[in-house]
Amino acid sequence: MAIEGGISPAVQCDMPDLSDPFDMKFPPGFNAASVFIDRHLREGRGAKIAIHSVEGDVSYGELICEVNRVANGLTGLGLARGDRVLMVIRDCPAFFYAFWGVIKAGFIPVALNTLLRADTYAFIIDNSKAAAIIYSPENISELGPAFACAEHKIGHVLATEGGFDALRKKSSDDFAAVAAGAEEDCFWLYSSGSTGRPKGVVHRHRDMVATSQFFGVDTLGLREDDVCFSEAKLFFAYGLGNNLTFPLWVGATAVLNPGRPGPEASFPIIARYRPTVHFGVPTLYATYVARWPQVQGDFSSVRFCASGGEPLPAWILQRWHELTGLWILDGVGSTENLHNHISNRLDDIKPGSSGKPVRGYRARIMDEEGREIAGAGIGRLWVCGGSVARCYWNNPEKTASTMVDGWLDTGDTYRRDADGYYYYCGRNDDMMKVGGIWCSPFDIESRLIEHAAVLEAAVISRADAAGLMKPEAYVVLKDGVMEDEGLSEELMALCKQRLAPYQYPRRVYFVDQLPKTATGKVQRFRLREAG
């Protein structure tokens, strides 16, 4: 007999009407788990593989049963409607079970980065006031101290290979999704904290539907026979779409890598499971290109690649195509918008650009006075669409300034050309005025990494002896390359040749690594602070 959690009536597996992307229609009581999980059994996919992992394959039928066990088990613990359940889980089937089981039962999963430190975990515990946490045992070294110093004490602490397993095994595999609503809170993600403490980003039941259909299907063309492999982890908004919601939306298969991304870990998995779609990030593609002569991968099963997180330099796109014959579809998105809202398409690729707005999303460029720029221009990028977050948890001031009448201030500066393509120029706070002219750090960085010796680069502005702002570059060299004054001169000369005269970096610093967020975005403000 189905257990409904004692919270509200169950909901059926009715699909939403998405014919008008700006007026999506959802059935009453809509619960996202009903369409991402439950419908696959009635559509005949019970025996189809939903997940490939090193721990074994999981069919759609098995996935549904495990999700139901989690929903029953958590309901039996006495959690209340809307209670938060933190998830610090590596990429494995348990992530799927926990995420969807929590949603199906009427609670709210909060997927957290598995690479955070104890003080950040403690902050999130206090900020979220979570009722439960499910974690991979390898994370206890940071979570243990976090539990000890957090003021809020979590009521139920479950290790995936312990209490969580026991909870599932003793619970029924029959559970009817609790009625919710398309506009009701569904799950949280925490922002990467590029400029301070991470912020709880509250997403609704409708949001995963919008990104999965309008980007996953309408833009990328994902289909049921696809096998998806994402280098970005599931706890990232980008990875959550790539390897969890997109394949489940179309009835495809996801391939999980529990380890760190990179050729040593990823290439054997790609060779074994032969994915048809590969999701990466620019830094990873740059590493693949640099390492290709030593470690070549078998990408013969892949029909296209996608990139997100940071803009993809044109030379990486072109070099990857030369090496593999594959195109990389670059796009831009955010945690607040859940996935990409601007993207290239297979039939419309503009090297160096982020592409054009995804179906179901609108974009506008705003000038310094807050006025919209018509046609070509450069300014602050705002977007709207069906996946914009409802709010930042317990942060009304930031919510009010960032999410306005359905529009999201992305915090990015973009240039739109006369043909409607969008080009990333940097974060709003990273833009520089050199000689009274706005200058994009990304333009300079793109030129620097064209040099054969450079792996990564970050550019900031700093006042010179006369008090004038000038660009300075921080450069990570490829393995085996030695730094010297001659190389600095070469890099400055390269920029002088390829950029406007005022844009070349006045100084070049060679560093072992660049400061980054957990999602891989360069924290230029830390370079400015370190100066």
Are residues 219 and 173 part of one domain?
no
CA distances from 176 to 2, 12, 73, 233 (A): 6, 8, 13, 29
According to the model, what pLDDT value does residue 5 have?
Answer: 34
Residue 7 confidence (pLDDT) above 50: no
Q: Within 10 A of 174 (CB to CB), how many other CB atoms are there?
A: 14
Mean pLDDT, the chain, rounded, equals 91
Are residues 188 and 85 part of one domain?
yes
Q: Which amino acid is at 25?
A: K
- Evaluate whether residue 335 is within a structural domain: yes
Residue 430 confidence (pLDDT) above 70: yes
Residues 349-382: tens digit of each pLDDT: 999 999 999 999 999 999 988 899 999 999 999 9
According to the model, what pLDDT value does residue 2 have?
Answer: 33
- Distance from C-alpha of 180 to C-alpha of 105, rounded to nearest angstrom: 10
Q: Within 10 A of 185 (CB to CB), how many other CB atoms are there?
A: 18
Residues 203-215: tens digit of each pLDDT: 999 999 999 999 9
- Evaluate whether residue 250 is within a structural domain: yes
- Angle, CA of 208, 302 and 216, to the nearest 5°: 15
Are residues 357 and 239 part of one domain?
yes
According to the model, what pLDDT value does residue 127 have?
Answer: 97
Residues 279-291: tens digit of each pLDDT: 998 878 988 998 8
- Distance from C-alpha of 243 to C-alpha of 230, rounded to nearest angstrom: 6
According to the model, what pLDDT value does residue 141 have?
Answer: 96
CATH of the domain at 60: 3.40.50.980
- Evaluate whether residue 6 is within a structural domain: no
Residue 525 confidence (pLDDT) above 90: no
Number of domains, the chain = 3
Tokens 């499910």 sit at which residue? 134
CA proximity to 158, closest of 122, 125, 131, 120: 131
Give me the sign of the Cα torsion angle 137, 142, 147, 152: negative
CA distances from 79 to 115, 122, 170, 307, 310 (A): 27, 21, 17, 38, 38
In terms of phi and psi (left: phi > 0; alpha: psi -120 to 50; beta: otherwise), the region of 200 is beta
CA proximity to 106, closest of 15, 177, 12, 203: 177
According to the model, what pLDDT value does residue 435 have?
Answer: 58
Burial class for 379, CB neighbours closer than 10 Å (0-12, 13-18, 19+): buried
- Evaluate whether residue 51 is within a structural domain: yes
According to the model, what pLDDT value does residue 6 have?
Answer: 35
Last residue of a domain, one of 203, 225, 250: 203
Residue 391, both tokens: 């709010």
* Mean pLDDT of the region 400-428: 91
Residues 115-138: tens digit of each pLDDT: 888 998 999 999 999 999 999 999
Q: Within 10 A of 37 (CB to CB), how many other CB atoms are there?
A: 27
What is the chain's Cα-based Rg? 23
Residues 225-258: tens digit of each pLDDT: 999 999 999 999 999 999 999 999 999 999 999 9
In this structure, are strands 84-88 and 132-135 parallel, antiparallel, or unpaired? Answer: parallel
Are residues 127 and 56 part of one domain?
yes
Are residues 124 and 54 part of one domain?
yes
Are residues 243 and 179 part of one domain?
no
Spatial strand order of the sheet with 469-477 comes to 454-463, 469-477, 507-510
Are residues 499 and 375 part of one domain?
no
Residue 330 confidence (pLDDT) above 90: yes
* DSSP state letter for 337: T
CATH of the domain at 245: 3.40.50.12780
307 sits in which H/E element: strand 304-307
User: Bridge partners of 471?
Assistant: 461
According to the model, what pLDDT value does residue 424 have?
Answer: 87
Last residue of a domain, one of 169, 203, 237: 203
Tokens 């195109």 sit at which residue? 327
User: Bridge partners of 407?
Assistant: 384, 404
Are residues 182 and 56 part of one domain?
yes
Are residues 189 and 99 part of one domain?
yes
The residue segments making up the domain with residue 91 are 43-203
Are residues 131 and 277 part of one domain?
no
Residue 195 confidence (pLDDT) above 60: no
- Evaluate whether residue 396 is within a structural domain: no
Residues 211 and 339: beta-carbon distance below 8 Å: yes
Residues 88-118: tens digit of each pLDDT: 999 999 999 999 999 999 999 999 999 888 9
Residue 463 confidence (pLDDT) above 80: no
Are residues 258 and 188 part of one domain?
no
Are residues 220 and 157 part of one domain?
no
Residue 283, both tokens: 């830094």
User: Bridge partners of 85?
Assistant: 109, 132
* Mean pLDDT of the region 302-330: 93
- Distance from C-alpha of 234 to C-alpha of 207, rounded to nearest angstrom: 16
Last residue of a domain, one of 203, 225, 255: 203
Residue 286, both tokens: 């740059």
**Helix ranges, 309-367 (H):** 314-324
Transcribe 388-423 into DSSP letters: --SEETT-HHHHHHHEETTEEEEEEEEEE-TTS-EE
- Distance from C-alpha of 377 to C-alpha of 366, rounded to nearest angstrom: 9
Residue 518 confidence (pLDDT) above 70: no
CA distances from 237 to 7, 272, 337 (A): 29, 26, 9
Residues 170-189: tens digit of each pLDDT: 999 999 999 999 999 999 99
